[in-house]
A and B are shown apart, each in its own frame.
Chain A
Amino acid sequence: MEKTCESLGPRLSAYLDGELAEEERRKVKKHLETCQACRELVHELEETGTILKSALSSASESEVDLTGVWEEIEERTHFGPSLWQRMKKLVGKPVVWLPATVATAAVALLLFILPILKVQVPIELSRVESVYSRTGRVMVLQTPESGRPLIWILPEAGKGGSS
């Protein structure tokens, strides 16, 4: 092979293996028509390849005893479906089912449960400290928080009341 052809080596090998793009393949083919050294190299590579394929493909696998290998694999592998797959199977719905349910539950929580929780905050009831009534129609109530009296006037029959 000429010195200028040295860099062609990998391409000659790829040419033989059918791994060159069409344009590149044409260039190499054209070069081979005029270069005796490269033709010889291609021949040697081809012969080497033939020997390798022939010898290596006849390598005997029977030299390897695989008895018991599957049993070992079986023992160390979890073959069942994943938890997620089991849940899917249980529900029998597409994958979107659970996320959609979770989202709906979250919205329901916000809309209904939280307001209820808010209402359930214990309210401290006012205690009536004293009731005063002289006539029986007017009552004065006083709570400790406000400190202000609440006057309740009972209406006479047929009239409205005020407070």
Chain B
Amino acid sequence: MSSLSDEKLIKSCIAGNREHYRLLYERYKDYVAGLVWRLVRDGEVTRDLTQETFLKAFKGLKKFRGKSSFKTWLSRIAVNQYKDYLRGLKRRHGKAHVSLNASENEGGIELPAKDSTSDPQRQVLQKELKTVVEAAMDKLSIEHKTVILLWQEGFSYDDIAAITKTSQETVGSRIYYAKMHLRDLLIPYIKGIG
């Protein structure tokens, strides 16, 4: 893949270099798809939202001012696409199917036994843990889920605030309460507690 910086690629794209659009897509497609997939956990929807994210980004590339990184900017578009998707779902199916509030998502998850002596292999345990964490993530509100995924991606509180259009304080608070909620759901897996 090209060693050109994002900034140079973007300038070249704006000047009409079709191949560099492709390079930007190749550079970030897995990241965007991964982020969206962890938000929606549906292959088809992830594919659509990834596509829409890039379409919107390319259409508005001239508006990218470079105040944040391209990845941050792209994440913001992806998160907005996700929110639009949920709003669309809510409009179509009503609140009964789409929960937008944490309070509607109360309840535990079914955890596999902590001591999986029947299957001690590390790889299997990792897969099991992944399933448990994803199920726990689904219990979070959209806001909490979004900040945790962005935090896990390594974004700073400042970047997350820019992506989610909130303050740094709100981001800190959401990350804390989301982690506390997840801690309660993951207690059997936390060393020294379970």
A residues with CB within 8 A of B: 9-14, 17, 19, 43-45, 47-49, 51-59, 61, 63-66, 69-70, 72-74, 76-77, 79-82, 85
Inter-subunit contact A54/B191 (CB<8 Å): no
The answer to whether B47 touches A76, judged by C-beta atoms less than 8 angstroms apart, is no
Cβ contact within 8 Å between B190 and A44: yes
- CB–CB A80/B16 < 8 A: yes
The A-contacting residues of B in range 48-96, CB under 8 angstroms, are 50-51, 54-55, 58-59, 62
Residues of B within 8 A of A12 (CB): 176
| Pair A69/B157 contact, Cβ less than 8 Å | no
From known contacts A19-B156, A48-B190, A69-B29, infer whether A64 and B50 are also in contact, taking CB-CB under 8 Å: yes
Q: Are B157 and A17 in contact (CB under 8 A)?
A: yes
**B192 interface contact, C-beta 8 A:** yes
The answer to whether the Cβ of B108 comes within 8 Å of any Cβ in the partner chain is no
B177 surroundings in chain A (CB, below 8 A): 9-10
The reply to whether A73 and B55 contact each other, CB–CB distance below 8 Å, is: yes
Contact B50 A13 (CB under 8 A): no
| Cα separation A89 to B186 with both chains bound (whole Å) | 60
If A56-B38, A63-B43, A70-B22 touch, does A85 touch B15 (CB 8 Å cutoff)?
A: yes
A77-B55, A79-B21 are known; give 4 further A-B pairs, CB within 8 A.
Answer: A13-B172, A45-B179, A55-B133, A61-B34
B168 CB to closest chain A CB (Å) equals: 8
Contacts of A63 in B (CB 8 A): 37, 43
B7 at the interface (CB under 8 A from A): no
Q: Complex: how many Å from CA A61 to CA B38?
A: 9
Q: A48-B190, A59-B38 are in contact. Are A17 and B175 (CB under 8 A)?
A: yes
Q: How far is the CA of A47 from the CA of B176 in the complex (A)?
A: 13
How many of chain B's residues touch chain A, expressed as a range?
Answer: 35 or more
Is A65 in contact with B47, judged by CB distance below 8 angstroms?
A: yes
Contact A51 B190 (CB under 8 A): yes
Q: Is the interface of A mostly helix, strand, loop or mixed?
A: helix
Q: Contact mask B148-172 → A, CB, 8 Å, 1/0?
A: 1101100011000000000011001
Residues of chain B from 114 to 144 with CB closer than 8 A to chain A in the complex: 126, 129-130, 132-134, 137
In angstroms, Cα B20 to Cα A79, docked, is 10
- B-chain residues with CB within 8 Å of residue A76 when the two chains form the complex: 55
A72 to B48: give the CA distance in the assembly, Å.
Answer: 10
Q: How far is the CB of B124 from chain A (nearest CB, A)?
A: 13
> B140 CB to closest chain A CB, in angstroms?
11
A58–B175 Cα gap in the complex (Å)? 20
A56-B38, A79-B21 given as contacts; is B130 within 8 A of A69 (CB)? Answer: no
A69 and B190 within 8 A (CB) = no
CB of A64 within 8 A of CB of B22, answer no
Chain A residue with the shortest CB-CB distance to B62: A82
CB distance from B177 to the nearest CB of A (A): 8
- Name the distance in Å between A103's Cβ and chain B's nearest Cβ: 26
* Interface contact B189-A51, CB-CB below 8 Å: yes
Does the CB pair A61–B33 fall under 8 Å? Answer: yes
Residue numbers in A under 8 Å from B17 (CB-CB): 79
Would you call A73 and B25 a contact (CB within 8 A)? yes
- Do B179 and A54 touch (CB < 8 A)? no
Residue among B37, B151, B156, B179 making CB contact with A64, cutoff 8 Å:
B37
